[in-house]
């Protein structure tokens, strides 16, 4: 294995450890007592006695010093145990594993839709720069990038679910339930891909090797899709990587709006209820996703452009 791969792989555990320390510290310093909040919820909003709060804090280990609590959590996490939810008492790792397929389905559908529409539109806009098609594509991309995903979600829900009654507004279980959340998630990514593909294509189109390819008799579609697009893909792949990490993180707002039972909805409830183990487990999961996605993106650079080395041996 190359030295580059070894260096990148060796840094991943240290990055995860650093992220877990920072997130654990920030959660511990956040306002609100998880024990008191848990008892308030169990008692229907009635303030619990002080003795009950202290007893629950001791049961949950919240009375231990911060370093002791972190090391205890870390040792369990290394064994695959992310602890139990304060709210439900269920295993966090098991709950996230149960919800992960829903998040993967939504993320894959959204990403596939964004790639299938965003990149071809960017190519067409670049090949017809200055035309009405280019102007319309740029306007759509600007609107898609400017409007927040939750606003898009509410508009789609109001139009297609409430007024037209074509699609269900919330829920999970059928292809119809997937359409609106996937569309709401994909529009922002689609706009980014379209704008970046167009800009990268315009930058590459003036290169000498494209004129050489045409002089050799290659057809225009071959020149565009095989030579021009491939050399314009590096910045596009970078955006794809960050977008994939965001989507696999659960897209918490979209999952909450559409009642999608994924990882994002799970962590929103944990944040509201001050369920620290849930939030800490989600942060670790999200950090691992982004690190692995970025690592994969870096590896793909070498395949896209063999001239890049990044210390390979």
Q: pLDDT per residue over 60-81, tens digit each?
A: 777 788 888 888 888 888 888 8
Would you state the CATH architecture of domain 99-304?
Orthogonal Bundle (1.10)
Cα–Cα distance for residue pair 75/72, rounded to 1 Å: 5
Q: pLDDT per residue over 100-141, tens digit each?
A: 888 888 888 998 998 899 888 888 888 777 788 878 888 888
The 3-state DSSP class for residue 298 equals: helix
pLDDT of 312: 46
pLDDT of 220: 64
Tokens of 32: 């609100």
Cα–Cα distance for residue pair 36/52, rounded to 1 Å: 9
Tell me the angle at which helices 66-78 and 3-29 cross, rounded to the nearest 10 degrees.
140
pLDDT of 217: 65
Q: Is the pTM of this model over 0.85?
A: no
What are φ and ψ of residue 310, in 5° steps?
A: 55, 35
Cα–Cα distance for residue pair 261/181, rounded to 1 Å: 12
> Which positions of the chain have pLDDT values less than 70?
1-2, 4, 43, 45, 206-227, 229-230, 249-250, 302-313
pLDDT of 15: 86
pLDDT of 82: 82
In the chain, CATH 1.10.3720.10 sits at 99-304
pLDDT of 206: 67
The dihedral formed by the CA atoms of 221, 223, 226 and 228, expressed in degrees to the nearest 10? -120
Contact 107, 248 (CB under 8 A): yes
């Amino acid at each position: 294995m190359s030295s580059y791969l070894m260096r990148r792989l060796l840094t991943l555990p240290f990055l995860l450890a650093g992220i877990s320390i920072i997130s654990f510290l920030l959660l511990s310093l956040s306002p609100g007592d998880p024990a008191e909040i848990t008892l308030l919820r169990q008692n229907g909003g009635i303030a619990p006695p002080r003795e009950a709060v202290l007893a629950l804090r001791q049961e949950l280990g919240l009375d231990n010093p911060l370093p002791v609590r972190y090391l205890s959590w870390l040792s369990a996490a290394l064994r695959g145990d992310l602890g139990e939810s304060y709210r439900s008492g269920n295993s966090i790792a098991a709950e996230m594993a149960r919800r992960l397929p829903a998040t993967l389905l939504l993320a894959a559908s959204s990403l596939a839709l964004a790639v299938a529409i965003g990149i071809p539109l960017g190519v067409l806009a670049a090949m017809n720069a200055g035309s009405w098609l280019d102007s319309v594509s740029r306007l759509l991309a600007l609107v898609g990038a400017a409007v927040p995903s939750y606003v898009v979600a509410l508009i789609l829900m109001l139009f297609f679910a409430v007024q037209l009654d074509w699609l269900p507004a919330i829920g999970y279980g059928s292809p119809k339930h997937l359409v609106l959340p996937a569309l709401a998630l994909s529009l922002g990514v689609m706009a980014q891909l379209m704008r970046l593909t167009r800009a990268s294509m315009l930058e590459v189109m003036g290169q000498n090797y494209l004129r050489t390819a045409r002089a050799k008799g290659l057809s225009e579609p071959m020149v565009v899709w095989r030579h021009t697009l491939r050399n314009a893909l590096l910045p596009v792949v970078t955006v794809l990587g960050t977008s994939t990490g965001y989507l696999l993180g659960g897209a918490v707002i979209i999952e909450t709006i559409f009642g999608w039972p994924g990882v994002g909805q799970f962590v929103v409830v944990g944040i509201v209820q001050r369920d620290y183990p849930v939030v800490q487990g989600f942060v670790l999961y999200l950090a691992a996703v982004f690190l692995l996605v970025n690592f994969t993106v870096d590896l793909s650079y070498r395949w896209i452009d063999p001239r890049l080395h990044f210390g390979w041996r």
